[in-house]
Amino acid sequence: MHKIDKRQIIKNITSSWFALGTNILVGLFLSPFILHRLGDSAFGVWVLTFSITGYYGLFDLGIRSSIVRYVSKHLATGSNEDLAKLINTALFGYGCVGAVSLVVTGIMATYVDALFKIPPEFRSSAHLLIWMVGTSVALGFPLGVVGGFLEGLQRFDILNISTVVQTLLRALLIVVFLRHGWGLVTITFITVALPIIASLVRVFIALHLRPVLFGWKYIDRPTFRTIVHYSSTTFMIMVAGRLKFKTDEIVIGSMISAAAITYFNIGARIVDYAGGVVNSLAGNFLPVASQSEATGNIGRLRKLFVAGNRLCAFTIFPITASLLILGKSVIEVWVGKKYIATSYPVLVIMIIPSTIMFAQAVSGRVLFGMSKHRTWAWVTLIEGVCNLTLSILLVRPYGIIGDALGTAIPLTCSFLLFMPGHLCRLLGIRLRTYLREAFVLPLVITAPLVAVLLLMKKWYIPHTYRQLAVQLAIGGAVYGVGLLWVYATDRALRTGELAAKQEAAPIENDISAPAVSVAEYSDS
């Protein structure tokens, strides 16, 4: 990578982790505060509402990813008019999507209490919550163009700083209003209103950084076809993602109860926090991969694939080890001891396959950057269907544990049996070379952490934040020593053996051509 790329990537990663750290700390405090103020049923209704409206993300149709992809490409090639066509066409498309989502909101608000087991006292609130969140999402579609634009500019730092301000302000307002006796509807309004305000602020900042021409003449059919061709494959992956990770609460809410959602959500949310740390790192690699593909830099793509996943493994392995060993203590100090028996098994079942996925988080970004994600889309869609089917079959006999298993089994198959070999074939890298260079060193560095945490757990089991913090601090110090050695020896990003063996296997497709037509984008 060039030096300027390294500086910007470091800035992006640092700000991403700062934003994520803020979000996690706020969540650790705010989630139990809201839970204990509202109660299990009301909290479950709140989670269910956002789970239902989370499916509105499918209306994105993959347009956001195409914005990031082609903003990066047009900047690399210096095409200002194509950039204007992209942004204007995306705005028009998103405006239409927002109008459709409002219609769907009306339908969902009408039938929500017939579809889900919502306690009678919360039914009127559920209707209002659907309208509030649905309207916010509808407005968020056109406003979301600026987010993709900033990602394409590789200005994740701006997105992250605005997110931090929004998160802190949301937490402050929710605490103040709940303490003054306000309830479910108020905290939902706060949660959905602040992102809209933040998006408006980002619009002014983005246009100041990189002015774009606006006008009806820039709404362009060929550009729309380009977006649709790229985003149609992305849309399949989005559908699969919703089936994999956003159906659990809906299955549980429709087949068990709203209160059961709370117990599942505790374990699943901890896994989400862990994944957020990795995804905030991996997301920075998509525009870099896109620019590398646009300029035909295959060596850089290989390095992004191997070194990027190695960084993901350095991040997720110690988190997973800590959660497996201290997960019961984490749940106890976070939300209370009564949730351990049910939520900890969910955490264990979900974290193991999720770790396999998070350790390869850069792989998907490289596929998107290369526009070679069609095969992956079909595989992940099949995985999503299997996920939903297994969850429905297993939830009745095994409860929320069965739902977790329905997610874990297909996820493990996809990221063990398909993803590594697929990327290695595309990039011309031997599978054993990739596995060795990406994952052996992170495993070795994590081993002392595991040993120290197990020894301390024999000494005493943490039951308070202070006790838990002491064990995590000691374990973190041990892991930190290993990371310092990795940094001092420059092993974090080194891909020496890979560079020496780049010619060992042929590239499955020639991606080094400087110009490729839309019709030629495929991954086979």
Q: How far apart are CA 265 and CA 49, in angstroms?
A: 13
- Looking up tokens 């394409």 gives 152
Q: Looking at the structure, do residues 191 and 280 belong to the same domain, yes or no?
A: no
Domain assignment present for 466:
yes
Tokens encoding 64 = 């956001």
Q: Looking at the structure, do residues 56 and 198 belong to the same domain, yes or no?
A: yes
Q: Looking at the structure, do residues 363 and 218 belong to the same domain, yes or no?
A: no
Q: Looking at the structure, do residues 197 and 267 belong to the same domain, yes or no?
A: no
All residues at 6 or more sequence positions from 109 whose CB lies less than 8 Å from its CB, including other chains = 127, 130, 131, 134
Name which of 53, 422, 373 is nearest 231 in CA terms. Answer: 373
What is the reported pLDDT for 517?
27
CB 486 within 8 A of CB 441: yes
Tokens encoding 389 = 């089917």
For residue 127, the enclosing domain spans 1-10+43-225
User: Which alpha helices (H) appear in 335-428, and where do they start and end?
Assistant: 340-358, 361-370, 374-413, 419-427
Tokens encoding 402 = 């069965």
CB 76 within 8 A of CB 295: yes
pLDDT in tens, the chain (524 residues): 444 455 666 666 677 767 777 877 787 777 777 777 776 666 776 676 666 555 555 555 566 667 777 777 777 666 777 788 888 888 888 888 888 888 887 887 777 666 666 667 667 777 777 788 778 878 877 887 877 777 777 777 787 888 888 888 888 888 888 888 787 778 788 888 888 888 888 888 888 878 777 878 878 788 777 777 766 666 667 667 767 766 777 788 778 877 788 888 888 889 988 888 788 777 777 767 776 766 677 887 888 889 889 999 999 999 999 999 999 999 998 888 888 988 999 999 999 999 999 999 888 888 877 777 778 888 888 888 888 889 889 988 888 889 889 989 999 999 999 999 998 988 888 999 999 999 999 999 999 999 999 999 888 888 888 899 999 999 999 999 988 888 877 666 666 555 444 444 444 443 333 322 222 222 32
Count: domains in the chain = 2
Name which of 160, 137, 159, 139 is nearest 149 in CA terms. Answer: 159
Query: DSSP label at 210?
Result: S
All residues at 6 or more sequence positions from 145 whose CB lies less than 8 Å from its CB, including other chains = 67, 87, 90, 91, 94
What is the reported pLDDT for 519?
27
Domain assignment present for 233:
no
Domain assignment present for 500:
yes
Q: Which of 163, 195, 225 delimits the end of a domain?
A: 225
User: Model-level pTM?
Assistant: 0.65
Q: Looking at the structure, do residues 444 and 330 belong to the same domain, yes or no?
A: yes
Q: Looking at the structure, do residues 254 and 368 belong to the same domain, yes or no?
A: yes
Q: How far apart are CA 355 and CA 346, in angstroms?
A: 14
Q: Looking at the structure, do residues 308 and 423 belong to the same domain, yes or no?
A: yes
Q: Looking at the structure, do residues 4 and 146 belong to the same domain, yes or no?
A: yes
Q: Looking at the structure, do residues 135 and 278 belong to the same domain, yes or no?
A: no
Q: Tally the residues of the chain.
A: 524
CB 447 within 8 A of CB 320: no
Q: Looking at the structure, do residues 70 and 107 belong to the same domain, yes or no?
A: yes
Domain assignment present for 351:
yes
Q: Which of 225, 255, 273 delimits the end of a domain?
A: 225
Backbone conformation region of residue 175, classed left if phi is above 0, alpha if psi is from -120 to 50, else beta: alpha
Domain assignment present for 517:
no
Domain assignment present for 230:
no
Domain assignment present for 458:
yes
Q: Looking at the structure, do residues 165 and 265 belong to the same domain, yes or no?
A: no
Q: How far apart are CA 261 and CA 248, in angstroms?
A: 8
Domain assignment present for 330:
yes
Residue 373, SS3 per DSSP: coil
Work out whether the CA dihedral 343, 392, 102, 71 comes out positive or negative: positive
Tokens encoding 307 = 């070194």
Q: Looking at the structure, do residues 347 and 482 belong to the same domain, yes or no?
A: yes
CB 450 within 8 A of CB 321: yes
What is the reported pLDDT for 159?
78
Question: In Å, how far from its chain's centre is CA 408?
Answer: 17
CB 20 within 8 A of CB 277: yes
